[in-house]
Amino acid sequence: MRKQLRAAVCGVGVVAVMAAVWATAPRAHPFPVAGASADVSAVEPEPAPPADQPYIGFKECASCHFKQFMSWKKTKHAETFKLLPEKYRSDGKCLKCHTTGFGKPTGFKDVESTPTLAGNTCEMCHGPGGRHAEICKGFGTTLDEADEKKARDSIWRVIPANICIECHMTQAHKESPTPKEMRDE
Ligand code: HEC
Ligand code: HEC
Ligand code: HEC
Ligand code: HEC
């Protein structure tokens, strides 16, 4: 019951946060299900996960969250690195928005050494999850309530800062305009 309510409520929060990009949103993870309730009062605040987690890339996440992985794979976020032409694939100006964790010690470096952080991957929205994965690997096949709480408390359901705005609503290409040869006209 608590789980259901929480999922519904998060969906509503997300709708508010994402309003500006909503119109073009593909119907895939992380976009919320229909019939979400607006009652936020019964939900306790999200605990902060361990702060010192390394980035581990989408393949690790997919090993336990296959459904979300399949859904994310269909979104444009999964392709944001691939759409960069060769010569921009090592350009830090582009990589900060077209990869995950660029500039952080364990974040994207280059496509050879960190292929599963190329593009806007799971950890862009959930934060780095290395410790979360470690914690969850210790559990058996069935989770009791205490284990489930440990699992959930070790990663953000959604990073609390409005990360969407960092890339989408500050005229993303003002300082790094889409190169001439890549424009439609
Ligand atoms: C070893 C298995 C395992 C791995 C690897 C793993 N998770 Fe999880 N994750 C879980 C379990 C178990 C839960 C508890 C709830 C559930 O069953 O979905 C969970 C819950 C979550 C939640 C919900 C948090 C909440 O507050 O409700 C998110 C988001 C999440 N994981 C994201 C990720 C991301 C991103 C990665 C990769 C960086 C990842 N997970 C890697 C097992 C794993
Ligand atoms: C501040 C974040 C940011 C930076 C920096 C950035 N991009 Fe983007 N890029 C975006 C976003 C967000 C989109 C999605 C479309 C939009 O909202 O403008 C996008 C879309 C694109 C597209 C799809 C076509 C288009 O123009 O909509 C291409 C190609 C692209 N970027 C290339 C680049 C290149 C090359 C660089 C570096 C010179 C770069 N981007 C730097 C955020 C950024
Ligand atoms: C663009 C942002 C974004 C990306 C990228 C993303 N997620 Fe999520 N994810 C969310 C949001 C937002 C929610 C919360 C939905 C809700 O509460 O209704 C969520 C919820 C979850 C949950 C909790 C269970 C659920 O489905 O509600 C898991 C597990 C999860 N994501 C795993 C992943 C994994 C694994 C990836 C990569 C393969 C991924 N996410 C990529 C935004 C994202
Ligand atoms: C690190 C940068 C970054 C962040 C953060 C980010 N995005 Fe994106 N997003 C992009 C880029 C780059 C594209 C362009 C993909 C393309 O044009 O192929 C994109 C594309 C999209 C699209 C597809 C638009 C279309 O034309 O179909 C949607 C919807 C979207 N983002 C929503 C979100 C939401 C919601 C969040 C916050 C939870 C978010 N984004 C956070 C970089 C980002």
Is the bond preceding residue 30 a cis peptide, omega within 30 degrees? yes
Mean pLDDT of 26-44: 54
pLDDT digits (tens, 9 = 90+) for 74-88: 999 999 999 999 999
Domain count, the chain: 1
The CATH number covering residue 73 comes to 1.10.1130.10
pLDDT of residue 21: 42
User: Worst-scoring range by mean pLDDT, 45-49, 52-56, 92-96, 116-120?
Assistant: 45-49
Contact 8, 151 (CB under 8 A): no
**Inter-helix orientation angle 130-137/145-153, to 10°:** 160
Quickly state the pLDDT bin for 2 (edges 50, 70, 90): very low
User: Measured from the CA of 21, which atom of ligand 2 is nearest?
Assistant: 17
Domain that holds residue 158: 53-182
Q: Which atom of ligand 1 is nearest to the CA of 155?
A: 24
Percent of the chain with pLDDT over 70: 74
**152 touches ligand 3 (CB under 6 Å):** no
Ligand 1 binding pocket (C-beta < 6 A) is: 56, 60-61, 63-65, 122-123, 126, 129, 132-133, 136-137, 143, 148, 151-152, 155, 157
Task: Provide the pLDDT confidence category of residue 185 given band limits of 50, 70 and 90.
Answer: low
In short, whether 176's Cβ falls inside 6 Å of ligand 2 is: yes
For residue 39, being part of any structural domain is answered with no
